[in-house]
Each structure stands twice: as C-alpha cells, then as structure tokens.
Amino acid sequence: MSNWNAGYMAEIAYTYGYYEELNPLRLRLPLLAAGLALPASGTACELGFGQGISANIHAAASATRWHGNDFNPSQAAFAQELASAAGAGAQFTDESFAQFCRRDDLPDFDFICLHGIWSWVSADNRALIVDFLRRKLKVGGVVFISYNTQPGWAAMMPMRDLMAEHSRVMSAPGQGVLDRVAGAIDFVDRMIAAQPRFLEANPLLADRIDKLKAMDGHYLAHEYFNADWQPMAFSSVAAMLGEAKLEFAASATYTALVDMLNLTAEHQQFLAEIPDPTFRETTRAFLVNEQFRKDYWVKGARRLTPLAQASALRAVRVMLAVPRDEVVLSVHGVLGDADMDERVYAPVLDAMADHRVYTIGELEQQLAGSEAKLAALLQIMLVLVSKGNVLAVQDEADIAVARPQTARLNAHLLEQALARTDLNILASPLTGSGVAVPHLQQLFLWAKLQGCSTPQEWVRATWPVLLRLNQLVTKDGQPLLTEEENLAELLAHAQHFAARNLPILRILGVTD
C-alpha cells in the first residue's frame, strides 16, 4: 500500500479554520516593534494548507501571488475550487513535501508559512522543509511557523502517546477514526477515574482530558493521533531553522509582545539578566508554561535606526473594525484578565470611532497632548489588534487589486452557505484578511445579493434555506419550535444585523 500520507492523519478532513497569523500584512507591527525592516510582499507560500481557507482568503484579499501545497488531494481540490472562484491566480497542489520542496519551477518567496505542520511531521520532512526555506525564501523574507512546545506539553506527552497507542492496538478492525478517537479518550477517562499515580504527580491532567472530551473529533484526530507528534523546545527549533539562515524576529501572538500581560516583575527581571536571546526565549517558556508558539523568523534581519523605525510605525494604517461601544476594556494574558486603562484607550478608540482608515502617525498628531505617544500607541495597537477590535489596513493600490477578487470569492462562499454551515469567514480587501461572519449573517448577505433589500425580505429568503438544513433558530440557548417563533427571532437578528454589523462589513469591503 502507498504511504502517501507519511503517517499524517488522512482518513478524515482537516477543519475549515481561518488563521489570521498567515496574513503577511499582520507581521508589520511585530517586526517594527522589534526594530526590524519589513519584507516585500509579492509572493507567498503555505506548506500544509489544510482546506486552503487562509491561503485563499489572503490571496484574494491582496496583490500577493500565493502558492501552497498539502498532501491530501481532497483538501487540495477544495482549495483549488476556492482559488478558481476568486480568480486571484493562487496555485495549490497535493504533492508530498519531497515532491513540492524539490520543484524547480517555483518562484522565490517573500513569505512562507507553516501552521500546524512542524510538530506533526517526521524528522525527514522537517529536514526537507528547512532545505526549502534555505533555498526558496528570499533574503529579507519572513517565515511564520507554529508548533507545540515544551514545557507546556511535558506532562501530556505520555498521555498523548497512550491515546495514540490505544487507537492503534485496541480498536476493532475497520473502525472509523472518529470512533477510535472517542474510544481512546474514553479509555483515558476511565483510567483517570482509577486514580493512577501519574495523575497524582500531574494533577492538572484531569482538567485537560475533560476539555478534550468537549472538542471536535476531527480536530482531535489531527492534533493527537498522527504517527508523528513532537513538541520541541524553542532552542531546538532555533537550531534547525538556523540551518536555513533564519533568525527569530518576534512572536506572532500580539499579547506575547506585551510583557506585563504575561510576566511578573520578577519574571521580567530574571529574563533581563540572560544575555543570550535563544536561551532567554527557551527560559521564558518555563516562566509562562508555554504550550504552543506562533513565531516570525527572518532571513537576513536588518535593524532599523530609531528614526526609520518611528517613520515606518507612523505609516502603518489601521481602522476600528467593531462598533465603538462593543469594545470591552479587558485583555487576556498568561497572568489572567487585565483591565485596559480607560484614560489611555478611550481617547484612541474615540478618535477611531468613525471607522475611517488612520495611520498611526495621524492618530499621534490628533491625540497630541494625551498619553498616546508613539511608543504607547504601538502597545495600544498590539492589544486592540489582538482582541480583533482594530485591524491593519493595506495600501490603496493593493485594495484596488483585491476588491474584485474578494467580491468573487465572497459570492462563492455565500453560495456555499446554502448547503453547509462550517465556512464562517469572508474576505476583506481593506485588511487583506478574513472577517468572521456567522452562518446566519452569511445567509442575510446572500439574500442581499439576490436583490432583497430589507430585513423582512432577508428573512423570507433565509427561512426556506434553514428549513432545508434542519437549522432551527435558538433563543437563550433553546431551539424555537414553531415557524412563527422562528420567523420573529429571525427578523430580530436581521434587524440587528442591518443596524450593527452590515455597516462595518460595508466599510471593510466585505459587501457593497
């Protein structure tokens, strides 16, 4: 039998998630915060694109030319379908890493991303990836990589191995993967009930297993049940990526860039005394008990002068992407929830409340005399972007290229909403990114595309679709059983959507 999947889970489809860190526009703030020059943005590549949602959104919503590869042919076919609908020229293939990484017909790339791949492939495939990054990433280019890391996984690693072994040796012949996953979790749950001494030494594991029981089986299969599963220390990853001439640039998790959210004063002082940057990052993982990293790495990092750094920061374009009164002044970090000082954040939010596009420099000028100096504005933006309240905005020329592409892709995704409920994302030409739009709101937008202009008309068009999908409307967590109740609640949703959500989606270019 052909081993085309190389031990990676191929029996069931990967989830249809969207990952904002794979948007090249998003790396600007972290790199500038680190004082590093920005890469060009002409070409990009995703290795292991899953269903291709992120790559297609980012290809349609920008002028960047995307390539991608995923070993699974059904996933590649879906990605190609989206690419064809958008007409943005994205190219997606279903080759192995050995085939794709050795191709001689690919361009060199400004940006290469790997999400959910590094920890779940073999050592041989990691070596192929490193060689690909060495040869195909341009000088000055950026790599995004996410991976499971120690020490956050240290206690769970033996438990994961036990679950994977149960799936292999204790499942009935021919049993489907979702049943094997459920059986393994049930086995571990029963073992925990027997109070093993391993649990006494690792008491937090019971809570983690409880959380696993509530997760989607497709996600669990891909996360825990591949043949290869290797959490790594930061220093180990740095050594491997160093072979491709890559240097660590910054975390792609914006809140990780704000030390006060994650590290006590004692932690910060302890890290400040470590001169070696790699060992400092490795040590930091112990202080925060890090389980998963999302990082940007640069090939040939160039440090900006303070003047050039300030100038580049002032040129970054941003906009408020939610109604002003929906912004909650609280942010979550490793240390828990932290209140955001209203004296600092309110003036910035008030200045952006009209949802216009502003440069950070314009905000600095408008707020002159307040506490919103440039350094403070950088931290404010990192926090607000991490919460999804503010989004970076690309240049006008790129927006013009993206508008027809996102219109085509969004129209296709809205047609998909007539038959499925799991594609809850649309593309914004302003931000070069995806915007979360729940299924019901997608149906309202689809009705709008059909010429329906009022909430009442949207409801009349949407209700037959929901009936066909067996999707009853819920209220207070309970499904409504009569048609009259459903229609009344649908109208309430439609009116709220028209008043609150639709104006923002228009500003973002998601709809006209």
Summarize pLDDT for 40-76 with one digit per residue, the tens: 999 999 999 999 999 999 999 999 999 999 989 999 9
Answer yes or no: do 137 and 173 share one domain: no
Report the run of H or E that residue 43 belongs to, with start and end.
Answer: strand 43-47
Answer yes or no: do 185 and 142 share one domain: no
Answer yes or no: do 41 and 105 share one domain: yes
Note the maximum CA span of the chain.
Answer: 72
Answer yes or no: do 130 and 241 share one domain: yes
Mean pLDDT of 324-330: 96
Residue 512 included in any domain: no
Report the run of H or E that residue 92 belongs to, with start and end.
Answer: strand 91-93
Residue 14 included in any domain: no
For 294-308, the pLDDT digits (tens) are 999 999 999 999 999
Asked whether the beta carbons of 366 and 351 are under 8 A apart, the reply is yes
For 368-419, the pLDDT digits (tens) are 877 779 999 999 999 999 999 999 999 999 999 999 999 999 999 999 999 9
Cα distance between residue 392 and residue 381, in whole Å: 9
Domain that holds residue 387: 306-393
Answer yes or no: do 364 and 237 share one domain: no
How would residue 179 be classed by pLDDT, with cut points 50, 70 and 90? Answer: confident
How would residue 11 be classed by pLDDT, with cut points 50, 70 and 90? Answer: very low
Residue 189 included in any domain: yes
pLDDT score for 245 = 98
pLDDT score for 13 = 54
- pLDDT at residue 93 greater than cutoff 50: yes
Answer yes or no: do 142 and 164 share one domain: no
Residue 225 included in any domain: no
Cα distance between residue 111 and residue 54, in whole Å: 14
Q: Which of 371, 393, 415 is the last residue of a domain?
A: 393
pLDDT score for 160 = 84
Residue 491 included in any domain: yes
Answer yes or no: do 136 and 283 share one domain: yes
- pLDDT at residue 131 greater than cutoff 80: yes
Mean pLDDT of 225-250: 92
Residue 4 included in any domain: no
Structure tokens of 117? 């791949």
Query: Between residues 166 and 83, which one has the greater pLDDT?
Result: 83
Answer yes or no: do 240 and 276 share one domain: yes
Residue 3 included in any domain: no
Contacts for 113 with CB less than 8 Å, ≥ 6 apart: 21, 22, 44, 45, 46, 47, 143, 144, 145
Residue 338 included in any domain: yes
**Backbone region of residue 359 per phi and psi (left: phi > 0; alpha: psi in -120 to 50; beta: other values):** beta
pLDDT score for 428 = 98
Residue bearing tokens 């086995």: 187
Mean pLDDT of 123-140: 96
Answer yes or no: do 500 and 441 share one domain: yes
Strands (E), 212-329: 246-251, 292-299, 317-320
- pLDDT at residue 103 greater than cutoff 70: yes
Helices (H), 260-337: 265-272, 277-288, 306-315
Q: How many domains does the chain have?
A: 4
- Give the gyration radius of the chain's Cα atoms: 24
Query: Between residues 256 and 150, which one has the greater pLDDT?
Result: 256
pLDDT score for 2 = 45
Cα distance between residue 501 and residue 472, in whole Å: 22
For 411-450, the pLDDT digits (tens) are 999 999 999 999 999 999 999 999 999 999 999 999 999 9
| Predicted structure pTM score | 0.89
Q: Which of 253, 278, 299 is the last residue of a domain?
A: 299
- pLDDT at residue 3 greater than cutoff 80: no
Mean pLDDT of 481-509: 96
Helix (H, G, I), strand (E, B) or coil at 439: helix
Answer yes or no: do 128 and 259 share one domain: yes
Answer yes or no: do 315 and 367 share one domain: yes
